[in-house]
Amino acid sequence: MRFILALIVAGVALVGVQSAAQATVRVNIDLSTQTMHVSSASGADYDWAVSTGRPGHRTPTGVYHPQRMYVMTHSNKYDDAPMPHAIFFTGGYAIHGTYSVAALGGVASHGCVRLAPGNAATLFDMVKHEGATIIISGQAPGGEVASAEREPHRAGHRMRNGYREEALAFAPHHRSRNLQDWVNNPIGNLY
């Protein structure tokens, strides 16, 4: 009798686990199109523009689950930048709202996945109640170095980190942009 009761309890637990797994929000982020598709068993279905890591600041690919969530937090690394409705999925990487909505649909971040503030709030609420599986795939635009730049060293070509640098050898030295310069004019020239 105890064996049958144990089987019934195990069956009920398995059904409960399967139901919880089906209620999880699926967040699919495509780096190549800079879009996010969100769906859940509750019937929610969204497609949103995002901004992911610009060259030199890639967004990690893979399958993740939320590690911690904050209604509002600020970046310790990038001048206390606001990160509303942040869902951290690995290390310091998060999905969060941004006030730079004009940049959505193109690479612009330091590796996080940025959303319009209202969309970030909607996603945050869904994940808080249902959990999530976050799938990040694809290749960000501009993230791959052209094959011509990967040619082996030849006489007269300067190399840096295994890449040809011939065009850069004649470029004037410019000061690096700080984060505030970039925030004020993300696409513009330094001078």
Q: Give the DSSP letter string of 148-173.
A: GGGPPP-TT--EETTEE-TGGGGSPP
Give pLDDT, residue 69. 96
What pLDDT score was predicted for residue 37?
Answer: 97
pLDDT in tens, 55-109: 999 999 999 999 999 999 888 887 778 999 999 999 999 999 999 999 999 999 9
Within the chain, which residue ranges are assigned CATH 2.40.440.10?
23-137
The SS3 assignment for 59 reads coil
pLDDT at 2: 60
Question: Which residues of the chain carry a pLDDT beneath 70?
Answer: 1-23, 143-191
pLDDT of amino acid 191: 34
Q: What is the pLDDT of residue 3?
A: 56
CA 73 to chain centre: 16
In this predicted structure, what is the pLDDT of residue 116?
Answer: 96
3-state DSSP call for residue 48?
strand
pTM of the entire structure? 0.64
The rounded radius of gyration (Å) of the Cα atoms in the chain is 22
Cα distances (Å, whole numbers) of residue 118 to 17, 33, 186? 31, 21, 22
Give the pLDDT confidence score for residue 167 in this predicted structure: 32
Superfamily of structural domain 23-137: L,D-transpeptidase catalytic domain-like (2.40.440.10)
| Average per-residue pLDDT for the chain | 75
